[in-house]
Structure 1
Amino acid sequence: MVHPHQGHLPYRFCPLCGGDLDQRVIKPKEPERLVCRRCGFVYYLDPKIAACTVTTYEGRIVLVRRAISPGYGQWVIPGGFVDRGETVESAAIRETLEETEMEVRLTSLLNIYSYPGSLVIIVAYLAEWMAGAPQAGDETLEIGLFHPPEIPWEDLAFSSTRDALRDYLARFST
Protein backbone atom coordinates (compact mmCIF):
# COMPACT_ATOMS: atom_id res chain seq x y z
CA MET A 1 0.00 0.00 0.00
CA VAL A 2 1.41 3.42 -0.95
CA HIS A 3 0.93 6.14 1.63
CA PRO A 4 0.12 9.68 0.35
CA HIS A 5 3.09 11.11 2.27
CA GLN A 6 5.55 8.42 1.24
CA GLY A 7 8.87 9.93 0.26
CA HIS A 8 8.72 13.00 2.49
CA LEU A 9 7.97 13.82 6.09
CA PRO A 10 5.13 16.36 6.42
CA TYR A 11 6.02 16.82 10.11
CA ARG A 12 9.45 16.62 11.70
CA PHE A 13 8.79 16.84 15.44
CA CYS A 14 6.59 15.02 17.96
CA PRO A 15 3.60 17.07 19.16
CA LEU A 16 3.97 15.52 22.65
CA CYS A 17 7.67 15.77 23.50
CA GLY A 18 9.31 17.62 20.60
CA GLY A 19 11.47 14.65 19.63
CA ASP A 20 12.36 13.81 16.04
CA LEU A 21 9.85 11.81 13.99
CA ASP A 22 10.87 8.90 11.78
CA GLN A 23 8.86 6.86 9.30
CA ARG A 24 8.51 3.23 10.41
CA VAL A 25 6.35 0.23 9.70
CA ILE A 26 4.34 -0.51 12.86
CA LYS A 27 2.26 -3.40 11.53
CA PRO A 28 3.00 -5.59 8.52
CA LYS A 29 0.95 -4.78 5.41
CA GLU A 30 0.24 -1.22 6.62
CA PRO A 31 1.96 1.94 5.43
CA GLU A 32 4.80 3.53 7.31
CA ARG A 33 3.74 5.75 10.19
CA LEU A 34 5.41 8.75 11.82
CA VAL A 35 6.92 7.61 15.13
CA CYS A 36 8.75 9.70 17.74
CA ARG A 37 12.32 8.51 18.35
CA ARG A 38 12.20 9.78 21.94
CA CYS A 39 8.76 8.80 23.37
CA GLY A 40 7.41 6.33 20.78
CA PHE A 41 4.26 8.38 20.02
CA VAL A 42 2.67 7.31 16.71
CA TYR A 43 1.43 10.28 14.67
CA TYR A 44 -1.32 9.06 12.35
CA LEU A 45 -1.87 11.24 9.28
CA ASP A 46 -5.64 11.13 9.24
CA PRO A 47 -7.73 12.59 6.43
CA LYS A 48 -9.44 15.97 6.56
CA ILE A 49 -13.21 16.11 6.13
CA ALA A 50 -14.83 18.65 3.81
CA ALA A 51 -18.56 19.30 3.46
CA CYS A 52 -20.34 20.84 0.50
CA THR A 53 -23.78 21.38 -0.97
CA VAL A 54 -25.45 21.13 -4.32
CA THR A 55 -28.02 23.88 -4.08
CA THR A 56 -30.41 25.31 -6.62
CA TYR A 57 -31.72 28.85 -6.76
CA GLU A 58 -34.58 29.77 -9.10
CA GLY A 59 -34.16 26.43 -10.86
CA ARG A 60 -30.43 26.77 -11.48
CA ILE A 61 -27.42 25.12 -9.83
CA VAL A 62 -25.33 27.41 -7.62
CA LEU A 63 -21.58 27.35 -8.27
CA VAL A 64 -18.91 29.65 -6.86
CA ARG A 65 -15.73 30.83 -8.57
CA ARG A 66 -12.90 30.37 -6.07
CA ALA A 67 -10.94 33.38 -4.80
CA ILE A 68 -8.33 31.18 -3.10
CA SER A 69 -5.96 28.39 -4.07
CA PRO A 70 -6.12 25.60 -4.89
CA GLY A 71 -8.41 26.10 -7.85
CA TYR A 72 -8.23 29.90 -7.90
CA GLY A 73 -10.65 31.25 -10.52
CA GLN A 74 -12.34 27.91 -11.14
CA TRP A 75 -15.89 26.81 -10.34
CA VAL A 76 -16.91 24.60 -7.41
CA ILE A 77 -20.00 23.76 -5.43
CA PRO A 78 -20.04 25.69 -2.12
CA GLY A 79 -18.13 23.92 0.63
CA GLY A 80 -15.06 23.68 2.81
CA PHE A 81 -13.40 21.97 5.72
CA VAL A 82 -15.19 20.84 8.86
CA ASP A 83 -13.92 22.64 11.96
CA ARG A 84 -12.94 20.69 15.07
CA GLY A 85 -16.06 20.05 17.18
CA GLU A 86 -18.44 20.94 14.33
CA THR A 87 -20.82 18.45 12.73
CA VAL A 88 -20.41 17.73 9.03
CA GLU A 89 -23.96 18.98 8.44
CA SER A 90 -23.29 22.26 10.24
CA ALA A 91 -20.11 22.75 8.22
CA ALA A 92 -21.99 22.28 4.94
CA ILE A 93 -24.57 24.90 5.98
CA ARG A 94 -21.90 27.31 7.31
CA GLU A 95 -19.65 27.01 4.25
CA THR A 96 -22.58 27.56 1.89
CA LEU A 97 -23.56 30.71 3.82
CA GLU A 98 -19.96 32.00 3.90
CA GLU A 99 -19.42 31.50 0.18
CA THR A 100 -22.86 32.46 -1.18
CA GLU A 101 -24.68 34.50 1.52
CA MET A 102 -27.49 31.94 1.14
CA GLU A 103 -29.16 30.20 4.06
CA VAL A 104 -29.90 26.58 3.18
CA ARG A 105 -31.51 23.51 4.69
CA LEU A 106 -29.97 20.13 3.99
CA THR A 107 -32.45 17.73 2.43
CA SER A 108 -30.35 14.59 1.95
CA LEU A 109 -26.91 13.14 1.58
CA LEU A 110 -25.84 13.15 -2.07
CA ASN A 111 -22.65 11.09 -1.78
CA ILE A 112 -19.24 10.78 -0.12
CA TYR A 113 -16.13 11.14 -2.27
CA SER A 114 -12.54 10.07 -1.70
CA TYR A 115 -9.69 9.71 -4.15
CA PRO A 116 -6.42 7.77 -4.14
CA GLY A 117 -3.56 9.93 -2.88
CA SER A 118 -5.86 12.64 -1.52
CA LEU A 119 -6.05 13.31 2.20
CA VAL A 120 -9.52 14.85 1.92
CA ILE A 121 -12.87 13.08 2.23
CA ILE A 122 -15.74 15.12 0.78
CA VAL A 123 -19.30 14.77 2.06
CA ALA A 124 -21.81 16.27 -0.39
CA TYR A 125 -25.38 17.15 0.54
CA LEU A 126 -28.39 18.28 -1.41
CA ALA A 127 -29.60 21.58 0.01
CA GLU A 128 -32.71 23.68 -0.36
CA TRP A 129 -32.46 27.48 -0.52
CA MET A 130 -34.21 29.13 2.44
CA ALA A 131 -33.19 32.82 2.48
CA GLY A 132 -30.69 35.34 1.14
CA ALA A 133 -29.88 36.19 -2.45
CA PRO A 134 -26.72 34.61 -3.89
CA GLN A 135 -23.75 36.94 -3.42
CA ALA A 136 -20.00 36.32 -3.43
CA GLY A 137 -18.45 35.82 -0.01
CA ASP A 138 -14.84 36.62 0.91
CA GLU A 139 -13.46 33.37 -0.57
CA THR A 140 -15.56 33.72 -3.73
CA LEU A 141 -14.87 35.80 -6.85
CA GLU A 142 -18.40 35.42 -8.16
CA ILE A 143 -21.56 33.34 -8.01
CA GLY A 144 -22.75 31.44 -11.05
CA LEU A 145 -26.27 30.11 -11.56
CA PHE A 146 -26.35 27.37 -14.19
CA HIS A 147 -28.97 25.29 -15.91
CA PRO A 148 -27.54 21.77 -16.43
CA PRO A 149 -26.50 22.33 -20.09
CA GLU A 150 -24.63 25.48 -19.05
CA ILE A 151 -22.40 23.90 -16.37
CA PRO A 152 -18.77 24.87 -17.15
CA TRP A 153 -17.44 21.29 -17.00
CA GLU A 154 -14.04 22.25 -18.40
CA ASP A 155 -13.53 24.89 -15.71
CA LEU A 156 -14.40 22.94 -12.53
CA ALA A 157 -11.67 22.97 -9.88
CA PHE A 158 -12.05 19.54 -8.30
CA SER A 159 -13.03 15.98 -9.20
CA SER A 160 -15.46 16.04 -6.28
CA THR A 161 -17.37 18.96 -7.81
CA ARG A 162 -17.57 17.15 -11.14
CA ASP A 163 -18.65 13.90 -9.48
CA ALA A 164 -21.24 15.59 -7.24
CA LEU A 165 -22.77 17.43 -10.19
CA ARG A 166 -22.91 14.22 -12.22
CA ASP A 167 -24.55 12.40 -9.30
CA TYR A 168 -27.05 15.24 -8.87
CA LEU A 169 -27.93 15.26 -12.57
CA ALA A 170 -28.26 11.46 -12.66
CA ARG A 171 -30.67 11.63 -9.75
CA PHE A 172 -32.81 14.49 -11.03
CA SER A 173 -32.62 14.32 -14.83
CA THR A 174 -35.92 13.64 -16.55
Structure 2
Amino acid sequence: MKFCSECAQPVSLLIPPDDNRPRFVCEHCGTIHYQNPKMVIGSIPLWDADGESRVLLCRRAIEPRYGYWTLPAGFMENDETTDEAAMRETMEEAGARVELHELFSLLNVPHVHQVHMFYRATLLDLDYSAGVESLEVRLFSESEIPWNEIAFPTVSHTLKQFFADLNRIKSEGGCYRLHTRDLRKPMRQDT
Protein backbone atom coordinates (compact mmCIF):
# COMPACT_ATOMS: atom_id res chain seq x y z
CA MET A 1 0.00 0.00 0.00
CA LYS A 2 1.38 3.37 -0.98
CA PHE A 3 -1.47 5.82 -0.48
CA CYS A 4 -4.27 6.32 2.04
CA SER A 5 -7.70 5.33 0.72
CA GLU A 6 -9.26 8.05 2.90
CA CYS A 7 -7.22 11.13 1.89
CA ALA A 8 -4.80 9.92 -0.86
CA GLN A 9 -1.71 10.97 1.10
CA PRO A 10 1.34 8.63 1.30
CA VAL A 11 1.26 5.99 4.06
CA SER A 12 4.08 4.67 6.23
CA LEU A 13 4.60 1.20 7.66
CA LEU A 14 4.57 1.77 11.43
CA ILE A 15 3.58 0.03 14.64
CA PRO A 16 0.72 2.12 16.06
CA PRO A 17 1.03 2.96 19.78
CA ASP A 18 -1.81 0.60 20.82
CA ASP A 19 -0.74 -2.29 18.55
CA ASN A 20 2.08 -4.81 18.22
CA ARG A 21 2.21 -5.26 14.43
CA PRO A 22 3.35 -3.02 11.61
CA ARG A 23 0.39 -1.40 9.84
CA PHE A 24 0.09 1.07 6.99
CA VAL A 25 -0.63 4.37 8.73
CA CYS A 26 -1.52 7.70 7.19
CA GLU A 27 0.34 10.34 9.16
CA HIS A 28 -1.78 13.02 7.49
CA CYS A 29 -5.29 11.91 8.58
CA GLY A 30 -4.37 9.22 11.15
CA THR A 31 -6.14 6.34 9.42
CA ILE A 32 -4.71 2.91 10.23
CA HIS A 33 -5.16 0.51 7.32
CA TYR A 34 -5.65 -3.02 8.66
CA GLN A 35 -5.04 -5.87 6.25
CA ASN A 36 -6.71 -9.16 7.07
CA PRO A 37 -6.82 -12.65 5.51
CA LYS A 38 -9.18 -13.30 2.64
CA MET A 39 -11.84 -15.98 3.00
CA VAL A 40 -12.07 -18.65 0.29
CA ILE A 41 -15.39 -20.47 0.61
CA GLY A 42 -16.63 -23.50 -1.29
CA SER A 43 -18.52 -26.76 -1.23
CA ILE A 44 -18.02 -30.48 -1.68
CA PRO A 45 -20.99 -31.31 -3.94
CA LEU A 46 -21.85 -35.01 -3.58
CA TRP A 47 -23.99 -37.16 -5.88
CA ASP A 48 -24.86 -40.52 -4.35
CA ALA A 49 -26.55 -42.96 -6.74
CA ASP A 50 -26.42 -46.67 -7.48
CA GLY A 51 -24.27 -47.26 -4.41
CA GLU A 52 -21.47 -45.03 -5.69
CA SER A 53 -20.57 -41.63 -4.29
CA ARG A 54 -19.18 -39.01 -6.64
CA VAL A 55 -17.92 -35.47 -6.02
CA LEU A 56 -18.33 -32.62 -8.49
CA LEU A 57 -15.03 -30.97 -9.49
CA CYS A 58 -14.31 -28.01 -11.75
CA ARG A 59 -11.36 -27.72 -14.12
CA ARG A 60 -10.03 -24.16 -13.75
CA ALA A 61 -10.29 -21.72 -16.68
CA ILE A 62 -8.34 -19.03 -14.82
CA GLU A 63 -4.97 -18.56 -13.17
CA PRO A 64 -3.60 -19.55 -10.81
CA ARG A 65 -3.45 -23.23 -11.72
CA TYR A 66 -5.24 -22.98 -15.07
CA GLY A 67 -6.39 -26.43 -16.25
CA TYR A 68 -6.16 -28.06 -12.81
CA TRP A 69 -9.13 -29.53 -10.92
CA THR A 70 -10.70 -27.97 -7.84
CA LEU A 71 -13.82 -27.93 -5.74
CA PRO A 72 -16.17 -25.04 -6.57
CA ALA A 73 -14.91 -22.21 -4.35
CA GLY A 74 -13.87 -18.58 -4.40
CA PHE A 75 -13.49 -15.42 -2.41
CA MET A 76 -16.30 -14.46 -0.07
CA GLU A 77 -18.01 -11.17 -0.90
CA ASN A 78 -19.02 -8.42 1.51
CA ASP A 79 -22.61 -8.63 2.76
CA GLU A 80 -22.87 -12.42 2.47
CA THR A 81 -22.58 -15.26 4.96
CA THR A 82 -20.19 -18.16 4.50
CA ASP A 83 -22.99 -20.52 3.49
CA GLU A 84 -24.31 -17.96 0.99
CA ALA A 85 -20.79 -17.67 -0.44
CA ALA A 86 -20.49 -21.46 -0.77
CA MET A 87 -23.80 -21.72 -2.62
CA ARG A 88 -23.01 -18.73 -4.87
CA GLU A 89 -19.56 -20.07 -5.80
CA THR A 90 -21.00 -23.53 -6.52
CA MET A 91 -23.56 -21.99 -8.87
CA GLU A 92 -21.04 -19.62 -10.53
CA GLU A 93 -18.30 -22.18 -11.13
CA ALA A 94 -20.30 -25.37 -11.65
CA GLY A 95 -23.84 -24.24 -12.47
CA ALA A 96 -24.90 -26.64 -9.73
CA ARG A 97 -27.79 -26.38 -7.32
CA VAL A 98 -26.96 -27.88 -3.93
CA GLU A 99 -28.39 -28.41 -0.50
CA LEU A 100 -25.71 -27.17 1.85
CA HIS A 101 -24.85 -29.09 5.02
CA GLU A 102 -22.37 -28.43 7.82
CA LEU A 103 -18.89 -26.98 7.54
CA PHE A 104 -16.49 -29.82 6.72
CA SER A 105 -13.01 -28.28 6.59
CA LEU A 106 -11.36 -25.09 7.77
CA LEU A 107 -7.80 -24.61 6.52
CA ASN A 108 -5.51 -21.75 7.46
CA VAL A 109 -3.07 -20.76 4.71
CA PRO A 110 -1.07 -17.96 6.39
CA HIS A 111 1.66 -17.59 3.75
CA VAL A 112 -0.95 -16.37 1.21
CA HIS A 113 -3.11 -14.59 3.84
CA GLN A 114 -6.15 -16.83 3.32
CA VAL A 115 -8.55 -19.07 5.21
CA HIS A 116 -10.30 -21.79 3.15
CA MET A 117 -13.64 -23.25 4.25
CA PHE A 118 -15.54 -26.07 2.55
CA TYR A 119 -19.11 -27.14 3.30
CA ARG A 120 -20.55 -30.58 2.63
CA ALA A 121 -23.27 -30.35 0.01
CA THR A 122 -25.69 -32.62 -1.83
CA LEU A 123 -26.32 -32.06 -5.53
CA LEU A 124 -30.03 -31.54 -6.09
CA ASP A 125 -29.88 -32.72 -9.70
CA LEU A 126 -27.44 -33.44 -12.51
CA ASP A 127 -28.20 -30.20 -14.33
CA TYR A 128 -24.75 -28.60 -13.95
CA SER A 129 -22.41 -26.89 -16.40
CA ALA A 130 -19.11 -25.03 -16.46
CA GLY A 131 -19.23 -21.35 -15.56
CA VAL A 132 -16.89 -18.71 -16.98
CA GLU A 133 -14.15 -19.69 -14.50
CA SER A 134 -14.33 -23.42 -15.38
CA LEU A 135 -13.24 -25.29 -18.50
CA GLU A 136 -15.37 -28.29 -17.55
CA VAL A 137 -17.27 -29.74 -14.62
CA ARG A 138 -17.38 -33.45 -13.90
CA LEU A 139 -18.38 -36.01 -11.28
CA PHE A 140 -15.58 -38.19 -9.89
CA SER A 141 -15.61 -41.26 -7.66
CA GLU A 142 -12.69 -41.46 -5.23
CA SER A 143 -10.75 -43.80 -7.54
CA GLU A 144 -11.26 -41.51 -10.55
CA ILE A 145 -10.01 -38.27 -8.99
CA PRO A 146 -6.94 -36.95 -10.86
CA TRP A 147 -4.92 -36.49 -7.65
CA ASN A 148 -1.83 -35.20 -9.48
CA GLU A 149 -3.95 -32.54 -11.18
CA ILE A 150 -5.62 -31.04 -8.09
CA ALA A 151 -5.10 -27.28 -8.07
CA PHE A 152 -4.47 -26.54 -4.39
CA PRO A 153 -3.30 -28.38 -1.25
CA THR A 154 -6.45 -27.24 0.60
CA VAL A 155 -8.62 -29.02 -1.98
CA SER A 156 -6.49 -32.17 -1.91
CA HIS A 157 -6.57 -32.27 1.89
CA THR A 158 -10.34 -31.68 1.97
CA LEU A 159 -11.05 -34.41 -0.59
CA LYS A 160 -8.84 -36.97 1.20
CA GLN A 161 -10.52 -36.24 4.53
CA PHE A 162 -13.96 -36.30 2.93
CA PHE A 163 -13.50 -39.73 1.35
CA ALA A 164 -11.91 -41.09 4.55
CA ASP A 165 -14.97 -39.95 6.52
CA LEU A 166 -17.36 -41.23 3.84
CA ASN A 167 -15.71 -44.68 3.75
CA ARG A 168 -15.68 -44.87 7.57
CA ILE A 169 -19.36 -43.89 7.75
CA LYS A 170 -20.32 -46.50 5.11
CA SER A 171 -18.41 -49.29 6.88
CA GLU A 172 -18.75 -48.41 10.58
CA GLY A 173 -21.48 -45.78 10.81
CA GLY A 174 -21.06 -42.49 12.59
CA CYS A 175 -20.98 -39.02 11.11
CA TYR A 176 -18.77 -36.50 9.39
CA ARG A 177 -16.54 -34.36 11.53
CA LEU A 178 -14.98 -30.93 11.12
CA HIS A 179 -11.38 -31.06 9.86
CA THR A 180 -9.00 -28.20 10.59
CA ARG A 181 -5.41 -27.76 9.57
CA ASP A 182 -2.72 -25.14 9.13
CA LEU A 183 -1.04 -25.42 5.73
CA ARG A 184 2.24 -23.60 5.91
CA LYS A 185 4.49 -22.77 2.98
CA PRO A 186 6.81 -25.74 2.38
CA MET A 187 10.38 -25.19 3.51
CA ARG A 188 12.93 -25.03 0.70
CA GLN A 189 15.11 -28.10 0.53
CA ASP A 190 18.79 -27.27 0.00
CA THR A 191 20.74 -29.92 -1.88
- Asked if TM exceeds 0.5, the reply is yes
Segment of structure 1 superposing worse, 29-38 or 76-85: 29-38
Shift of 1:28: 8.7
Partner of 1:153: 147
Q: Which runs of 4+ in 1 moved over 4 A?
A: none
Secondary structure, counterpart of 2:128 in structure 1: coil
Contact 1:101-1:135 at 8 Å conserved across structures: yes
Partner of 2:90: 96
Deviation per CA, 1:31-61: give whole Å up to 9, x if none: 3111112112110111111210011224211
Residues in 1 aligned to 2:132 and 2:37: alpha-carbon distance in whole angstroms: 26
Contact 2:41-2:75 at 8 Å conserved across structures: yes
Q: CA distance change for structure 1 residues 30 and 156 in 2, over 3 Å: closer, same or farther?
A: farther
Partner of 1:24: 14
Secondary structure, counterpart of 1:168 in structure 2: helix
Partner of 1:119: 113
Contact 1:101-1:132 at 8 Å conserved across structures: no
RMSD of Structure 2 on Structure 1 (CA): 1.7
- TM-score, normalization by structure 1: 0.87
Q: CA distance change for structure 1 residues 153 and 30 in 2, over 3 Å: closer, same or farther?
A: farther
Residues in 1 aligned to 2:10 and 2:56: alpha-carbon distance in whole angstroms: 47
State percent identity of aligned pairs: 33
Residues in 2 aligned to 1:115 and 1:20: alpha-carbon distance in whole angstroms: 30
Shift of 1:164: 1.0
Map 1:21-170; keep pairs closer than 5 Å.
Answer: 21-26=11-16, 30-57=20-47, 58=49, 59-170=53-164
What amino acid maps onto 1:13 in structure 2?
F
Contact 2:41-2:117 at 8 Å conserved across structures: yes
Q: CA distance change for structure 1 residues 130 and 27 in 2, over 3 Å: closer, same or farther?
A: farther
Contact 1:104-1:128 at 8 Å conserved across structures: yes
Contact 2:12-2:25 at 8 Å conserved across structures: yes
Residues in 2 aligned to 1:148 and 1:27: alpha-carbon distance in whole angstroms: 53
What amino acid maps onto 1:74 in structure 2?
Y
Contact 2:109-2:116 at 8 Å conserved across structures: no
What amino acid maps onto 1:69 in structure 2?
E
Shift of 1:81: 1.2
**Gap regions ≥5 residues in structure 2:** 169-191
